[in-house]
Chain A
Amino acid sequence: MVHPAPSTFTGAADVISVLVLLSEFAMLRAPLLRSQIRLYAFQSLVVTALAIVVAASQHIGELYVLAALSFLLKVVIVPAIVLRFLSRAEVDLAGSSAFGVATMTLIAIAVSVFGFFSIGALHLRSTALPSTALAVSVAVVLVAFVLIVLRSDVVSQAVGFFSLENGVSVASLVVASGLPLIVDVAFLFDLLVAVVVFGVLMRVHHGRTKTLSTEPLDQLKG
């Protein structure tokens, strides 16, 4: 069976989504919270680039607006908020994780392979659709879960949630590029509200425990 050569759009979308996945892996192993946030900003920048690629190749003018907003929010505002919180909290090392870096990476590889093949099993054949990019975005979501489960500090967990949203954004750009702009903007606004609430709760947590680790959060059981 001969596969036709991928179109420029498909190729670009695939490359970009793989970059998003790689930055997710990098976040998983970043020892400094600051570098984790910079990686998140980089990942968001790549997602913004994907929005521009989709806008240009499918001639959807609205997506340029979305790209601008997404750049402003996810590359500038969210990292700035979290970095400011970190410099006030005067903590920079990420909390110890349950496993070493090598084990975490192996687990992440395993779940992303799972995500990749489970989407492959759906046989979504479409000429317009870069199904590789969709599969990779599901892998991003799953690796974000690994990040949240294995890292035990509130900043990593919050960044894990924000990067999960990046994974969903990739999926929405490749399979639902025609989503009305108002809906996309509502999603972004929602992310902004969530960031503020995460920020408030992180500050409350740090104020009470003087640490960013989630280890004190084990009182409620049963």
Chain B
Amino acid sequence: MNAILVALAIVPLAATILTWWTPRRASQVITILSGIMVFGLSLSLVPTTGAGRFLAAGPVLRADSLSVVFLIPTTFLYGATAIFTAGYLHPPEGEAGRRYTRRFFAGINAFCWAMVVAPLANGLALLWVAIEVTTVISALLVAIDDTDGATEAAWKYVLVASLGLGIALLGTIVLYYAGTRVFGASYDLSYGKLVAGAPRFPKDVVRLADILAVLGYGTKMGLVPVHTWLPDAHSEAPTPISALLSGALLATSFYGILRFFQISVRAIGPSFPRNVLLTFGLASLLLAALYLLSQRDLKRLLAYSSVEHMGILAIGMSFAAPLAIVGVLLHVIAHGFAKGTAFFGAGAVVRKFGTKDLRRIRDGTQVLPWSGPMLVLAVLALSAMPPFGLFRSEFLIVAGGLSDPPDAVAAVLVVLVTLAFFGLSWFTTGTMVVAPRSSHALAVERGEPSRFIVVAMVLGLTGLVVLGIHVPGQLSGLLHRAASELEVAR
């Protein structure tokens, strides 16, 4: 019985219950403390799991190196978003405001609880349940602002994501059926068992399960062509929720895909699961790069950048070199930090200018003396510029693709990422650096909406610089260990 795992599962749940009852200031403090505590607990798992051990608490919770890789960005964003929310939230006065605040904080804690539990769930069935719980809670949070846009986005999101998860459930059941050939009619879907028995699973059945799982969880991860809900939900949700959806929830869904990948490569060899991911990844990267060139909405721009990065992750998994997989896992962490920070900056811009329309935002770095430049840095980080973490991770992915054996896809990857960089930086420099020239631009006073927003962004950028300049030794060990979990023994 590992106490840390139990604490990880209980602390956010306790915060959910508490914040339903406490007044706003107390809720803020509780959420921030819960986030920081959970982040600390996740980091404390790095040395043991990085050394190849796995931890368990009862039959339900289990953590290995792969789980911890996904816990890190989720729990970091939990804490950082809690801090950001303290500066971002402006509920209306009176009873309506109290109700809004209560729903918001309880919702955000419950959402993070489900995202923390998902990578800790021992087995594909519980993983599916946790991911479905994230969907329903986050759909309510997307709708919380009660505008036309939010209602539409929430309906599309809950419908499309639930259908996707229905497919993922079918995939889980098909894989269960594959396992009955080895384990008999009744067994639990725990990872240790599935990974050990996978080489004896019937191959056709595993192929079907793998496709269904990638299609199903891919819907929640935002892979093209099943990404259609993503730009709407990410742009219409309140900004703290956008940050969590983009930085943490997409990664959680990718984790579901990787668990199927881990089992499939052992059952049917690596080429089929790799090709499935490659197909979805290329489509995502191509479409996102094109959409990034024609965006008019700041938060949609960031949402399509998420589709782009999910495409990069899927393509990275299709490369044969272990180096590329290490890059993919680092990319998961770095993308969480960078996308969170970028959305925090977008939140400051939206608060200041009162619009998400890129044509009406000008001179952001002057108007927002701290969060403006930091938003530009976050966008540069998302474009894989040094010295940020995504530079290192994309470098590893491309280097992996070009070696052992060289893969032409790596060249395509570089071209499309460049195209995406162009779109992302064109609009950001246009809004943040260029001075106003038309009367469309709003006249706004110089100054930050809140210090909390600045603090949250500083934390995100610090993390990105650390990941970019020198990945701490134990974290690096964790990444290599997790990458080896995803490979077939050579």
Report A's interface with B, CB cutoff 8 A: 58, 60, 122-124, 129, 138, 141, 145, 148, 154, 157-158, 161, 164-165, 168, 171-172, 175-180, 183, 186-187, 189-190, 193-194, 196-198, 200-201, 204-205, 208, 214, 216-220, 222
Contact = CB atoms under 8 A, between A and B. Distances in A.
Given A201-B151, A222-B295, A178 B136 contact: no
A218 B348 CA distance: 28
B186 A180 contact: yes
B143 A201 contact: yes
Top 6 closest pairs, chain A to chain B, by CB: A178-B186, A178-B185, A175-B177, A183-B125, A197-B136, A220-B232
Contacts of A189: 129
A168 B152 contact: no
Contacts of A220: 149, 152-153, 156, 231-232, 235-236
Which residue, of B152, B173, B202, has the highest number of chain A Cβ atoms within 10 A?
B173
A122 B132 contact: no
B162 interface: yes
Contacts of B166: 141, 161, 164-165, 168
Interface in B319-359: none
A148 B159 contact: yes
A179 to B, nearest CB: 6
Given A122-B208, A141-B166, A190 B132 contact: yes
B173 A122 contact: no
A161 B186 CA distance: 28
B140 A197 contact: yes
A190 B133 contact: yes
A178 B180 contact: yes
12 contacts: A123-B204, A176-B176, A176-B180, A180-B186, A180-B188, A194-B135, A197-B140, A201-B140, A204-B154, A205-B155, A217-B155, A220-B236
B126 A186 contact: yes
Contacts of B167: 141
A189 B133 CA distance: 10
B30 interface: no
B158 A198 contact: yes
Nearest to B146: A204
Given A164-B166, A168-B170, A194 B136 contact: yes
Interface in B245-303: 291, 294-296, 300
A168 B164 CA distance: 12
Given A141-B167, A189-B129, A204-B154, 10 more contacts: A124-B205, A141-B170, A161-B159, A168-B169, A175-B173, A178-B184, A187-B125, A197-B139, A222-B295, A222-B296
A183 B205 CA distance: 21
B140 to A, nearest CB: 6
Contacts of B10: none
A190 B231 CA distance: 25
Contacts of B291: 222
B153 A193 contact: no
A208 B170 CA distance: 35
B144 to A, nearest CB: 10
Which residue, of B148, B188, B235, has the highest number of chain A Cβ atoms within 10 A?
B148
A73 to B, nearest CB: 15
Contacts of A157: 159
A105 B235 CA distance: 37
Contact of A168 (B143, B154, B173): B173
Interface in B152-207: 152-156, 158-159, 162-163, 166-167, 169-170, 173-174, 176-177, 180, 184-189, 202, 204-205
A183 B152 CA distance: 32
Interface string B426-446: 000000000000000000000
A217 B162 CA distance: 18
B339 to A, nearest CB: 20
A157 to B, nearest CB: 6
Nearest to A179: B176
A214 B151 CA distance: 11
A193 B130 CA distance: 12
A176 B177 CA distance: 6
B300 A186 contact: no
A51 B216 CA distance: 25
A190 B134 CA distance: 11
Contacts of A148: 159, 163
B189 A183 contact: yes
A1 B205 CA distance: 25
